[in-house]
């Protein structure tokens, strides 16, 4: 791709050194996110999605560590950025929402307090402290209205446990968006919600992306969500990217058997005859994995050629897949 | 918290306090020995005199009337006369109470003031040398008997190094006007630095001895709950918002981690009441604990009973305070 990218990640490796050995949670991930783009990241539980984006946010905690790779955000290399600079960037330029809003919001403070806190932290303008607090609180109400919380000026003083799951997710989005970040990483924004609320939250994210013109990453288990909302998709498996490309192409014609498997496992409401076929087996824990295709043990197409490390293969100008059966030249 | 729920909780205290007074009254009534005989001691008396005394003390009334009288007297602070001092029990206790309150408060301050920061540091630096030292220290703190530790301190600081006095509350040469009856405050109010330092010197060893087990327990509780809190999503989310490390530790982590600490602190303060008796006896501290120990040895029932009532009520109120603080810190809990 030739256009300028907002985020360029190359060869990212994040490892947790535990007593049982090194867990290579993220093992050589490349990814690009363009301006105004929505990227979907899919993969089963344990495939390394959260750790990959926690690494980008600089939020990996011991025993985890970024061992290799480069994370270029606009013109800054995040892996070597001064911790204080990194702290300024978090929440201000790159913001993140977590999988479970109930546990991600602090139970001891009102939601208004938690929204305003982010705003005040990143507010570098002059003015008295009282002024800034007053402005931040007004903005907290604005943000709550923006994410569709009715009666925001009253509910701003409520505690997280007083909201429903969907409303809590919206509040977390309000916190993430409070400083108008350039990039929003939404880690499974809908997993904890029921179907109708899921659609509302996703529509909200799409709407805000359009109005604020930011880039968005949606991490999810659900290729259906990606198909509906994301320009491009990145499929992860056992710490690696196994397929990437424009969503319509990948969904219409997956080139990695894992992607095909994920597609077959989406329930389709409009096609009652189609059977849901879950992929057999589970994601291996990325610890002491043999040097071969990581999907081989579960793959219906596995062959002798799969017993060596497989590199990403280019498919056309904008797609790649990590499979010996993919690629333009055999 | 709403005022209504607070009032409801206060009303709930009434049956508990009533229950306590019934038990204490039963103690008085069921104690072996005729109070009149005990009171008269070796004095020679006529049966008429004894009967008069009995009538005076209301001992001829039926039991429910006696309970009612006991309760109404207790409510206005009348607990009868001490057998030997021949003075109202309430006077004796009020005289001793400030010393005990001062000792207990300072012991609490020392315990909380060292335990919370140490617990936080131990949790943040989990597995490091600091954490291990704190762990070992807290094990010692919980398991060392108070009387042994107190004597050790006296031997080191008073007998061996002569830095601190052996016993008492303040030196004889110091006299300050009594305002609050708490010497540390009264000496400051009087503007007497020398007296203040003298009072502090007397206070420090007994307060440390008294506060040690509580501090050790609070340190463990703070460390454990802090470790648990630091693992929560909302701490990672606070970091994702771009907050500084200190703000995350103090505001987001400690506020939540202190909830169990505060609850345990309030309950442990109750056990300081028991510790007082030992510590006050060792350090010759002129407080309630020592008065009670003396009363026990001389079977001075009115004092023992009043002290039991006082301890029990204090304990109930401390539990109540723990509940309130717990609720204030933890908005999820509705009273
Ligand atoms: N703190 C940690 N210590 C050790 N291993 C970890 C830690 N955090 C994550 N891992 C490991 O990293 C791997 C990837 O985890 P990650 O949370 O990124 O998965 P995920 O794709 O986000 O899954 P999910 O869909 O369940 O959120 C897992 O094998 C997990 O066991
Ligand atoms: Mg995850």
Distance from CA of B335 to the nearest CA of A (A): 15
Q: How many percent of chain B have pLDDT more than 70?
A: 96
Q: Which long-range contacts (CB under 8 A, 24 or more apart) does A144-150 make?
A: A144/A111, A144/A112, A144/A115, A144/A170, A144/A171, A144/A174, A146/A174, A146/A177, A146/A208, A147/A171, A147/A173, A147/A174, A147/A177, A147/A204, A147/A208, A148/A200, A148/A204, A149/A174
Q: How many percent of chain B have pLDDT more than 90?
A: 38
All residues of chain A having their beta carbon less than 8 Å from the beta carbon of residue B239 are 59, 90
Residue minimizing CA distance to atom 17 of ligand 1 = A50
For A87-112, letters b (16+ CB in 10 Å) and e give: bbbbbbbbbbbbbbbbbbbbbbbbbb
- For B255, name the nearest residue in chain A, comparing CA atoms only: A108
Residue A268, pLDDT > 70, answer no
All residues of chain B having their beta carbon less than 8 Å from the beta carbon of residue A118 are 241-243
Exposed/middle/buried for A34, CB within 10 Å: 0-12, 13-18, 19+? Answer: middle
Residue A1, pLDDT > 60, answer no
For chain B, the domains span: 89-224+261-297
Query: A323 in helix, strand or coil?
Result: coil
Distance from CA of B326 to the nearest CA of A (A): 11
Query: A189 in helix, strand or coil?
Result: coil
Find the angle CA(B210)-CA(B295)-CA(B309) to the nearest 5 degrees. 75
- For A58, name the nearest residue in chain B, comparing CA atoms only: B240
How far, in Å, CA of A292 to CA of B13, rounded?
70
- Confirm if B305 and B27 have CB atoms less than 8 A apart: yes
CB contact under 8 A, B234 and A107: yes
Q: What is the pLDDT of residue A195?
A: 79
Q: How many percent of chain A have pLDDT more than 90?
A: 46
The average pLDDT across B148-173 equals 87
How far, in Å, CA of B326 to CA of B250, rounded?
18
All residues of chain A having their beta carbon less than 8 Å from the beta carbon of residue B256 are 106-108
Which of A53, A58, A86, A108 to mutate against chain B (most B CBs within 10 Å)? Answer: A108
Least confident segment among A225-234, A293-302, B27-36, B146-155:
B27-36
Looking at the CA of A220, name the nearest ligand. Answer: 1
CB contact under 8 A, B234 and A117: no
All residues of chain A having their beta carbon less than 8 Å from the beta carbon of residue B238 are 106
Is any atom of ligand 1 closer than 6 Å to the C-beta of A117? no
Is any atom of ligand 1 closer than 6 Å to the C-beta of A47? yes
Residue B219 — pLDDT band, cuts 50, 70, 90?
very high
Residue A247 — pLDDT band, cuts 50, 70, 90?
very high
Residue A269 — pLDDT band, cuts 50, 70, 90?
low
DSSP tag of B145: -
pTM of the complete model: 0.84
Query: A166 in helix, strand or coil?
Result: helix
- Confirm if A143 and A115 have CB atoms less than 8 A apart: yes
Residue A329, pLDDT > 60, answer no
CB contact under 8 A, B256 and A90: no
Give residue A239 CA to ligand 1 midpoint distance, Å.
9
CA distances from B328 to B1, B255, B317, B322, B335 (A): 7, 11, 16, 10, 10
Give residue A325 CA to ligand 1 midpoint distance, Å.
29
The matching CATH number, chosen from 1.10.287, 1.20.120, 1.10.10, 1.10.3720, for B89-224+261-297 is: 1.10.3720
Residue minimizing CA distance to atom 5 of ligand 1 = A16
Query: B123 in helix, strand or coil?
Result: helix
In sequence order, the 6+-apart residues with CB closer than 8 A to the CB of B305 are B24, B27, B28, B79
> Which comes out higher in pLDDT, residue B51 or A154?
A154
Residue B185, pLDDT > 70, answer yes
Contact with chain A for residue B243, Cβ under 8 A: yes
Distance from CA of B16 to the nearest CA of A (A): 31
The average pLDDT across A15-42 equals 91
For chain A, the domains span: 5-237
Q: What is the residue-averaged pLDDT of chain A?
A: 87
Find the angle CA(B96)-CA(B99)-CA(B105) to the nearest 5 degrees. 135
Residue A274, pLDDT > 60, answer no
Residue minimizing CA distance to atom 11 of ligand 1 = A25
For A139-168, letters b (16+ CB in 10 Å) and e give: bbbebbebbbbeebeebbebbbeebeebbb
Is any atom of ligand 1 closer than 6 Å to the C-beta of A220? no
CB contact under 8 A, B234 and A57: no
Q: What is the residue-averaged pLDDT of chain B?
A: 87
Distance from CA of A180 to the nearest CA of B (A): 12
Which of A56, A94, A104 to mutate against chain B (most B CBs within 10 Å)? Answer: A104
The average pLDDT across A113-121 equals 93
> Which comes out higher in pLDDT, residue B137 or A192?
B137
Is any atom of ligand 1 closer than 6 Å to the C-beta of A257? no
The average pLDDT across A108-113 equals 92
| C-alpha distance across the termini of chain A, in Å | 23
Contact with chain A for residue B239, Cβ under 8 A: yes
Task: Write down how long chain A is.
Answer: 330
**Beta-bridge mates of residue B78:** none
Q: What is the pLDDT of residue B193?
A: 86
Is any atom of ligand 1 closer than 6 Å to the C-beta of A286? yes
CB contact under 8 A, A90 and B255: no
CB contact under 8 A, A59 and B239: yes
Is any atom of ligand 1 closer than 6 Å to the C-beta of A192? no
Is any atom of ligand 1 closer than 6 Å to the C-beta of A45? yes
In sequence order, the 6+-apart residues with CB closer than 8 A to the CB of A13 are A24, A26, A27, A28, A29, A66, A67, A68, A69
User: Class of the A5-237 domain?
Assistant: alpha beta
| C-alpha distance across the termini of chain B, in Å | 8
Q: Give me the DSSP letters along A120-156.
A: HHH----S-HHHHHHHHHHHHHHHHHHTT-TTHHHHT
Q: Which atom of ligand 1 is nearest to the CA of A47?
A: 21
Residue minimizing CA distance to atom 22 of ligand 1 = A50
Give residue A196 CA to ligand 2 midpoint distance, Å.
22
Strand-strand pairing, A5-18 and A64-73? antiparallel
Residue B335 — pLDDT band, cuts 50, 70, 90?
very low
CB contact under 8 A, B242 and A122: yes
All residues of chain A having their beta carbon less than 8 Å from the beta carbon of residue B229 are none
Is any atom of ligand 1 closer than 6 Å to the C-beta of A112? no
- Its ipTM equals 0.89
The average pLDDT across A9-38 equals 91
> Which comes out higher in pLDDT, residue B55 or A267?
B55
Structure tokens at B39: 């009171």
pLDDT tens readout for residues B69-98: 888 888 888 888 777 777 888 899 999 999
């Amino acid at each position: 791709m030739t256009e300028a990218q907002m985020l360029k990640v190359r060869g990212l490796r994040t490892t947790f050194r535990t007593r049982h050995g090194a867990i290579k949670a993220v093992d050589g991930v490349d990814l690009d996110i363009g301006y105004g783009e929505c990227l979907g990241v899919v993969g089963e539980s344990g495939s390394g999605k959260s750790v990959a984006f926690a690494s980008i946010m600089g939020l990996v905690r011991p025993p985890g560590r970024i061992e290799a790779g480069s994370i270029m955000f606009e013109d800054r290399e995040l892996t070597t950025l001064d911790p204080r600079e990194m702290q300024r960037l978090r929440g201000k330029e790159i913001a993140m929402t977590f999988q479970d809003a109930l546990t991600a919001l602090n139970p001891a403070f009102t939601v208004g307090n938690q929204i305003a806190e982010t705003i005040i932290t990143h507010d570098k303008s002059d003015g008295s402290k009282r002024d800034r607090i007053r402005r931040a609180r007004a903005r907290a109400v604005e943000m709550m209205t923006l994410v569709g919380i009715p009666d925001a000026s009253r509910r701003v003083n409520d505690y997280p446990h007083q909201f429903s799951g969907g409303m809590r997710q919206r509040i977390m989005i309000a916190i993430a968006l409070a400083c108008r970040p350039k990039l929003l990483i939404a880690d499974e924004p809908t997993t904890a919600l029921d179907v109708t609320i899921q659609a509302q939250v996703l529509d909200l994210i799409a709407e805000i992306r359009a109005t604020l013109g930011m880039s968005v990453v949606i991490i999810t288990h659900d290729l259906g969500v990606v198909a509906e909302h994301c320009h491009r998709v990145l499929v992860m498996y056992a710490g690696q990217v196994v397929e990437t490309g424009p969503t319509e192409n990948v969904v219409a014609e997956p080139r990695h058997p894992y992607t095909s498997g994920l597609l077959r496992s989406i329930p389709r409401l409009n096609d009652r005859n189609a059977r849901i076929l879950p992929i057999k087996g589970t994601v291996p824990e990325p610890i002491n994995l043999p040097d071969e295709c990581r999907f081989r043990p579960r793959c219906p197409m596995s062959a002798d050629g799969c017993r060596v490390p497989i590199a990403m293969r280019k498919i056309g100008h904008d797609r790649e897949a990590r499979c010996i059966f993919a690629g333009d030249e055999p | 918290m709403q005022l209504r729920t607070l009032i409801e909780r206060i009303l709930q205290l009434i049956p508990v306090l009533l229950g306590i007074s019934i038990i204490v009254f039963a103690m008085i009534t069921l104690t072996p020995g005729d109070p009149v005989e005990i009171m008269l001691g070796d004095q020679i008396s006529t049966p008429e005199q004894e009967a008069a005394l009995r009538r005076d003390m209301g001992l001829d009334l039926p039991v429910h009337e006696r309970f009612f009288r006991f309760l109404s007297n207790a409510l206005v602070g009348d607990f009868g006369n001490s057998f030997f001092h021949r003075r109202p029990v309430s006077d004796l206790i009020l005289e001793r109470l400030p010393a005990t309150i001062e000792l207990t408060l300072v012991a609490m301050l020392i315990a909380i003031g060292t335990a919370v920061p140490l617990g936080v540091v131990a949790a943040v630096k989990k597995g490091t040398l600091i954490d291990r030292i704190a762990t070992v220290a807290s094990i010692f703190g919980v398991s060392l008997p108070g009387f042994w530790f107190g004597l050790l301190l006296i031997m080191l600081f008073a007998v061996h190094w002569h830095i601190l006095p052996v016993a008492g509350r303040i030196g004889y040469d110091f006299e300050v006007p009594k305002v609050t009856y708490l010497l540390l405050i009264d000496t400051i109010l009087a503007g007497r630095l020398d007296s203040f330092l003298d009072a502090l010197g007397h206070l420090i060893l007994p307060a440390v001895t008294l506060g040690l087990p509580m501090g050790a327990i609070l340190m463990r509780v703070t460390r454990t709950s802090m470790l648990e809190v630091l693992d929560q999503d909302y701490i990672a989310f606070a970091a994702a918002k771009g907050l500084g490390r200190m703000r995350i530790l103090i505001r987001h982590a400690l506020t939540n981690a202190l909830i169990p600490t505060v609850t345990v602190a309030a309950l442990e303060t109750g056990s300081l009441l028991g510790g007082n008796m030992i510590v006050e006896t060792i350090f010759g501290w002129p407080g309630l604990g020592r008065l009670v120990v003396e009363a026990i040895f001389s079977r001075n029932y009115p004092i023992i009973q009043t002290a039991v009532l006082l301890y029990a009520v204090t304990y109930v109120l401390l539990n109540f305070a723990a509940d309130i603080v717990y609720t204030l810190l933890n908005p999820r809990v509705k009273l």
